[in-house]
Structures are given as C-alpha cells and as structure tokens.
Amino acid sequence: MKTGKSIMLQGTASSVGKSLLTAALCRIFHQEGYKVVPFKSQNMALNSFITEEGLEMGRAQVFQAEAAGIKPSASMNPILLKPTGDKHAQVIIKGKVFKNMTAVEYHDFKPELKSMVAEVYQELVTSNDIVVIEGAGSPAEINLRDKDIVNMGMAEIADCPVILIGDIDRGGVFASLYGTIMLLTEEERKRVKGIFINKFRGDTKILEPGLKMLEDLTGVPVLGVIPYGDLNIEDEDSVTERFKKDINKEGKVTIEVVQLPHISNFTDFHVFEILPDVNLRYVTRGETIGNPDIVIIPGSKNTIADLKYLRESGLEKEILRVHKEGSHIIGVCGGYQILGEKIVDPLGVESSLKEIKGLGLLEVETTFEGEKVTTQIEGEIIFEDNEILKECKDTAIKGYEIHMGRTKLEEGVKPLLQITQKLGQEVAYSDGAVSKDGRVFGTYIHGIFDEISFTQKMINNILNKKGLTSELKEEKSFQDFKEKEYDKLAKLVKESIDLEKIYKIMEV
C-alpha cells in the first residue's frame, strides 16, 4: 500500500543526537530533490508549537520540517506528552488535548493508539518520497517493549530499516551500541541495518579498529562517524548544554532567563544567541541572579508549582531586588502569569490550590479555564512609553499562543500588543500588559523575540542608555540564520556518512 520509502533513526539513549540527525537527513534528501517529511509517533517534550490549523506538536518535528523545506504539521508528531510532574503528563493526540494521565495509565492506553499511529504514518508515506522516522530514548527498554509504539514497535508498523545512533562524546559508545543490539529480539536485530557514531572528536584512524570489532560482533555496518559540529540549532527539550554556560559572554547587554523546573518553550530565547550584543545566561537551581539588564521568566507547564519554586528557592526575592535596582523584567506565557497579582485555578487545572499570590510586578490577574488556547497570531506592538520599548510601536510580530489561563488587566494598565490575525483570520484584540512603572511587561506570545526587528530595537534601547552602540552589522531574519545552520548540518553529516548505502538500505 505504501508508495514512499522510510528510514528510522533510533538511539542507544536520550540526547545521542536523534533529533538533529533526523533533521540532517531531511535536509540532505530535500537538497537532492526528494519530497521528504519527518515523523515521530510519540514525543515527550515541553517545547511545543502551534500549526497554522491551531494544532499542537513538538518543536523537534518543527525544525525537522524546516530542514525538509516544508511547513510543520501535527501529523508529523501525532502523540505529544507534556509532563506536569514526575508521574503525570498532559496527553495531546493529533494536535488536541486528550486528557491528563499517569505514567501507568498512559502505558496501558498505548495499544489503543497503535492503529491511529499507523494510519497517520500511512498518509505521510503515500504522499511523500521519503519519511525519516525518529525514535525516542532507547529501543532496549525491555520493560516497555510489549506496548511500544515509538521505537521497534514503530519500525514494525512502518516495516522500515533502522539506523542505530551512539554518542561517543559521553563515553562507552561501543558498549552501549553492542548492548542495545543484544537486548533486541532476533527479529528486531534484523531491522538494524546500520550504525552512526555521533559527536566524535579526534582522528577517525584511532577509532577504526574499534569500528571493525563492533561490526564483527554485531554484524551491523558502521555507516558514519559524525564529528562534533559547531552548530546553533534549537534543542528538543531541557536536557541541553545551553543551561550550563553563558552564551556570547562578551555581550554588552546581559539577559538572564530563570530556568523554572517545568520550563517550556525555552526556544523562545534561541534568537538571543545569534545577537552579538547579548550575553544570555540561564539561572539554574542553586544559582542567584546577577545584575542583568533584563530578567525573563519563561513559559511553564505548571505555573503554580513554578511560582511556589521561585518563592521557596529565594528567586522571588532576587527578581524583586533586581527590579528595584533597575533591571527590566519580562514574562512569557506562564512567566507573564507569574508576574501578576494573583493566579486563580477554580477548576483545579494545575493544582488543588485554588488561588496563589503572584510576584505583583504587573497589575493583572489570571484565571485558569478548562479549554486550552492554541493559535498562531500576527500583530503589532502598540506600547512605547518606556525606555526599553522606545521606537518599537507598530513593529510587526508573529508567534503562537499555548495556555489555559485568561489574564485580565486592572484599570489603567496598558496592553503590549494588538493582535490583527488569528489562524489567518482578521481579528482585533490586545495581548500582554506593561506595568505602570514601565519596566515590566508580559505577553502570551511565544516566538515574539524571533522578530529581530523588534528584538534588536529593544536591545538598542538598552545600549543607548549605556552610551554604547550595536555590534550587529546588519539586521538579519532569524529564519535566514536557521536555514544556513540547516545547510551547515547537512554538509557536516553528508561528508561523514555513506549516503549511497543508506539509499540502498531504503531501496531508493
């Protein structure tokens, strides 16, 4: 029945590079003239995106779609799990919230999803030349194998070959590859047609004896040793090196993002990494806020729990201190709600706690409702009466909203944005709020900073206040930057793998 071909990338563990290498293959096949699409049956991530149809999906499949030269679609990620705690997650099916489930409940529910996954996959493979499928975690989780729909279970649904990825940078790559293959059933091992060794540093000649021994032991050929690359492509989720270092340490404007325990959509701040004027730092657990120009409270999958974390960790006092000392404070989505006077949860959407006091830096109040807002928007900045937003008025903005809360502004509080389009339809409503002292603002719009024309004006205002000038030579589109990074990724990987053997494995 299927007309296209497919290849699946699985890994020995999480964070071995499956998402990035899936994007690389998507870009390579796209460059070679094939109609290609990424697919991940089940993704667990707090970084999500809203499509043109108002459907929610994981951001990994978004950047993979961009690499493939196509628009993101929820069919590329039919199941999205968004953890709300250690044992609970919000289950999103085909872009819409299904319900919250415990880990045990979801595991028992997975067999019911198998036919849906097969149907969505079949639609993709019949309308594309190649489907590049990404697995999740490791296929050797033997306790989960009986109900698997994302690793070897997905390979069976697609009846496709598998390439297994090992991360040599973390050490033990030969043991992890061999051990993974040996824990598979005989039928599953037959599907593994090749191995990628990822994130290699050094001379491959030293590695060659080990590669030969691995091939002899497993009977599986090594199809590529991919070097550690200097790439700036967004991460799938919060297991990221970004949280462990200052980025652009020489930047003249310091932005500190508070790493909340349930941080979501930290991809909102990726754009700051490409601006030479900005030193970006994430404030992780146990650290204190320095003396930044801007503090950002990001989105959260559990706003009430993260507000309590700020209070109990002492970070609330830190935020109030730096605000008093002159820092600008920005909140995005859950961070916007946290900045308000209070959050009310009458339906118990997030917590048994019906009401909690916010940081009190914005004169707004948020109430959680039962229905999630998921929409793409276009709009423009309508506020400019403070030093950070000077000359930003009328600047165009694009982005998306994902939230359960509805935020009401107190009398006299001015909104930040006017929304003019929602899911392609003309609308007229406001978003966000700016504090009466002009040094705090919040918004529900994810991706607001991706509009470099807005972001650079904001940064320039701080530079001007300091008597400094921008190091940015010319204002570039963030999308143009990403396209160049996808090309760099494709070049790096294409030069490191046996592409002809991969085509042969797929029978293309």
Which residues are annotated as catalytic? Answer: 333, 446
Whether the Cβ atoms of residue 378 and residue 352 lie closer than 8 Å to each other: no
Q: 3-state class of 390 per DSSP?
A: coil
Token pair for 145: 């194998």
Instruction: Give how far Cα 21 sits from Cα of 52, 133, 290, Å.
Output: 26, 11, 36
Q: Which helix (H) or strand (E) holds 42?
A: strand 42-44
Closest CA to 489 of 239, 232, 196: 232
> How buried is 261 (Cβ within 10 angstroms: 0-12 exposed, 13-18 middle, 19+ buried)?
middle
Return the amino acid letter for 24: A
In 382-503, DSSP assigns E strands to: 396-409, 417-422, 425-431, 433-434, 440-443
CA-angle at 185, arms to 182 and 189, nearest 5°: 70
Q: How far apart are CA 375 and CA 378, in angstroms?
A: 10
Whether the Cβ atoms of residue 104 and residue 118 lie closer than 8 Å to each other: no
Q: How far apart are CA 220 and CA 73, in angstroms?
A: 34
Q: How far apart are CA 326 and CA 321, in angstroms?
A: 9
End-to-end CA distance of the chain: 16
Q: What are phi and psi of 44, to 5 degrees?
A: -110, 110
DSSP state of 362: S
Whether the Cβ atoms of residue 456 and residue 472 lie closer than 8 Å to each other: yes
Q: How far apart are CA 124 and CA 75, in angstroms?
A: 8
Instruction: Name 284's Cβ contacts closer than 8 Å, sequence gap at least 6.
Output: 243, 244, 259
User: DSSP assignment of 252-280, as one string?
Assistant: SEEEEEE--TTEE-GGGGGGGGG-TTEEE
Q: 3-state class of 5 per DSSP?
A: strand
